[in-house]
Amino acid sequence: MQSEIKNIVIVGGGTAGWLSAGIIAAEHLDLSAETHAPNITITVVESANVKTLGVGEGTWPSMRSTLRKIGITEAELLQKCDVSFKQASKFVNWHTEKNHQYYHPFTLPIGVKKVNIAEHWLNAQHSSQHDYSQFCQSVGYQDQICDLGLAPKMVATREYDAIANYGYHLDAQKFSQLLKEHCTAKLGVKHIVNDVETVNVNSNGYIKSLQTQQNRTIEGDLFIDCSGLHALLIGQHYEVPFIEQKSVLFNDRALAVQVPYTDEDEAIASYTLSTAQSNGWIWDIGLQTRRGIGYVYASEYTTEAQAKTTLQKYLIKNTSLKATDELNIKAFEFTPGYREHFWHKNCVAVGMSAGFIEPLEASALALIEQSAKVISEQLPRTFDSMLIIAKRFNQKMTKHWQQIIEFLKLHYVLSARKDSPYWLDNRKPESIPPALQEQLKLWQHQPPSQYDIAHTEPLFPAASYQYILYGMHFKTNANSAKKLTKQAEFALALMADNQQKRSQISSVLPRNRTLLNKINQYGMSNI
């Protein structure tokens, strides 16, 4: 087969579909060219009858560069999608049932490009005039910005630029809508609202066209399956096996609810609050007009009725609600896992059709961005080259999934909670991937470093492992031989300097809500 890849068809108009369309269109459909004759076409086909998931409120800092590239202004995003800034995840009661909390901030530890600061923090932890007892506080200041409810930037900071690294909390429905409007109006993406019913293939099994219930035939060369849990092409048609991960990550259910603020000046947290419960954990995300709160739990350990009671108790204790009977609590079911491969013949799965693991650390949208970016940058020109690109894409994505699973499991393995079989079972060796067991053995003797991560462009760098390990009181033996080196001197100077920054930063940054209000009113600096 030699013919060119010209027509891309994306099935699904959820976040995965529209983000993929935007990322690929921004690179390949140049509408500003005087003689507009793009080489390819991009068509999104979505059903009016099958709703999008409508959850997925936490994003990563990568979303800033993605949206900048797609051409959506940050002010527009903030004004249209109920957006707030996300600077960290804050974990409460993950180590013990009470009185424990720590942050996993988006800003990397100080000096990260020059020194592995964790090595020197371990030495300085108990022998310094400063309080270096907590890792996160010793190597950065974002925890303090979060504690004080401050924004990650000032009103004069240019759009998408940051003082402290940040992503967003957003309304997933409004976000898909904004992407759809932008992709169709500004990027030349075609949009068809039809229900895909049949997949037509050629003699090699490659997809030729899709037949819709409304009697339309949609032809294409490359088909991107963004049909969510329906997995129309990769699952239903090609039957690419699904690798289940429930024996490692037990959670397979979620209950989600939206709680409006009663006071329009109520403080907005700029972190995702994640509070561990006896059979899962509750997320709590502050947007501009409401909070999104949900309980992720394991159906093998608790029932939906019990989970609902747990969520209701949380709502009464932590919001201004007096009763919860009127709330519209939505239930979700999922099987944790991912596809054996993601690119099969001329079909590639992105988003929930490729896999889903519970939303701890909110990596789903980040993986969608990564997948679409690779597809766009490596967009095959011919069917022959597609085979090679597909093989590499599959290798890369498999590594991403394995890392996500190991990294999420780390949060459970380090817990000392004994209040339920759920937490005890989570620490049983048979539930821990061997690669993670090996890392944990190594990290008793040295802190995580970039060399522990086997692949390039990892979703979670070594710093993320450090934040979780030391936030959860993991013990690494300090290497006192490193105490007197030049690197140690440099690291200690950085840590002392960080103490100063911590005391200054709060006078510079505005309150989270104050900045959001200003941007809503006046827009944003883009010079």
Among 8, 16, 136, 207, binds ligand FAD (CB under 6 A): 16
Beta carbon nearer to ligand FAD, 351 or 380: 351
Which H or E element spans position 355?
strand 355-356
Among 8, 10, 12, 81, binds ligand FAD (CB under 6 A): 12
The least CB distance from residue 454 to ligand FAD, in Å, is 23
Beta carbon nearer to ligand FAD, 140 or 228: 228
* Interacting span for ligand FAD (CB under 6 A) from 43-51, 107-115, 383-391, 491-499: 43-51
Among 151, 199, 226, 348, binds ligand FAD (CB under 6 A): 226
Binding mask 168-207 for ligand FAD (x = CB under 6 A): ----x----------------------xx-----------
The least CB distance from residue 498 to ligand FAD, in Å, is 29
* Interacting span for ligand FAD (CB under 6 A) from 21-29, 361-369, 485-493, 498-506: 361-369
Other Cβ atoms less than 10 A from the Cβ of 131: the count is 10
* Interacting span for ligand FAD (CB under 6 A) from 119-127, 220-228, 409-417, 514-522: 220-228
Bridge partner list, 382:
4
Within 496-525, the residues that bind ligand FAD by CB under 6 A are: none
The least CB distance from residue 1 to ligand FAD, in Å, is 27
Question: How far is the C-alpha of 483 from the C-alpha of 124, rounded, in Å?
Answer: 8
Bridge partner list, 86:
167
CA 123, 494, 271, 244 dihedral sign is: negative
Give CA torsion, residues 140, 141, 147, 152, to 10 deg. -120
Indicate whether 359 belongs to the interface with ligand FAD (CB under 6 A). Answer: yes
Give the strand pairing for 88-92 and 272-277: parallel
Indicate whether 235 belongs to the interface with ligand FAD (CB under 6 A). Answer: no
Asked whether the beta carbons of 327 and 315 are under 8 A apart, the reply is yes
Among 10, 13, 119, 462, binds ligand FAD (CB under 6 A): 13
Other Cβ atoms less than 10 A from the Cβ of 457: the count is 12
Phi/psi class of residue 473: alpha, beta or left (left: φ > 0; alpha: ψ in -120 to 50)?
left
Asked whether the beta carbons of 279 and 307 are under 8 A apart, the reply is yes
Nearest 5°: phi and psi at 174?
-65, -35
Asked whether the beta carbons of 317 and 325 are under 8 A apart, the reply is no
Please confirm, yes or no, whether 208 is among the known catalytic residues. no
Indicate whether 27 belongs to the interface with ligand FAD (CB under 6 A). Answer: no
Query: Among 425, 500, 524, 527, which Cα is nearest to 110's?
Result: 500
Residue 76: helix, strand or coil by DSSP?
helix
| Structure token pair of residue 123 | 């030495």
Among 10, 17, 136, 248, binds ligand FAD (CB under 6 A): 17
* Interacting span for ligand FAD (CB under 6 A) from 6-14, 235-243, 261-269, 372-380: 6-14
Beta carbon nearer to ligand FAD, 314 or 470: 314
* Interacting span for ligand FAD (CB under 6 A) from 125-133, 214-222, 228-236, 237-245: 228-236
Bridge partner list, 209:
200, 219
Beta carbon nearer to ligand FAD, 111 or 336: 336
Beta carbon nearer to ligand FAD, 335 or 444: 335
Question: How far is the C-alpha of 275 from the C-alpha of 494, rounded, in Å?
Answer: 32
The DSSP 8-state label assigned to residue 50 in this structure reads: S
Among 233, 362, 397, 492, binds ligand FAD (CB under 6 A): 362
The least CB distance from residue 35 to ligand FAD, in Å, is 34
Of 6, 51, 80, 86, the catalytic one is 86
The least CB distance from residue 47 to ligand FAD, in Å, is 4
Beta carbon nearer to ligand FAD, 118 or 365: 365
Beta carbon nearer to ligand FAD, 162 or 226: 226
Give the strand pairing for 222-225 and 7-11: parallel
Question: How far is residue 75 from each of residues 71, 264, 289, 435, measured CA to CA in Å?
Answer: 12, 20, 16, 43
The DSSP 8-state label assigned to residue 507 in this structure reads: T
Within 46-105, the residues that bind ligand FAD by CB under 6 A are: 46-47, 50, 52-53, 55-58
Residue located via tokens 């990568």: 62
The least CB distance from residue 218 to ligand FAD, in Å, is 10
The DSSP 8-state label assigned to residue 412 in this structure reads: H
The least CB distance from residue 294 to ligand FAD, in Å, is 6
| Structure token pair of residue 113 | 């490009």
Within 251-280, the residues that bind ligand FAD by CB under 6 A are: 254, 256
The DSSP 8-state label assigned to residue 4 in this structure reads: B
Q: Maximum Cα–Cα distance for the chain, whole Å?
A: 75
Within 392-451, the residues that bind ligand FAD by CB under 6 A are: none
Among 111, 140, 220, 228, binds ligand FAD (CB under 6 A): 228
The DSSP 8-state label assigned to residue 511 in this structure reads: B
* # residues contacting ligand FAD (CB under 6 A): 36
DSSP-assigned states of every residue in 110-171: TTTTT--HHHHHHHHTTSSSS---SHHHHS-SHHHHHHTTB-SS-TTSPTT--SS--EEE--
State the residues that interact with ligand FAD by CB under 6 A.
11-17, 45-47, 50, 52-53, 55-58, 172, 195-196, 226-228, 230, 232, 254, 256, 294, 332, 334, 351-352, 359, 362, 364-365
- Residues involved in catalysis: 86
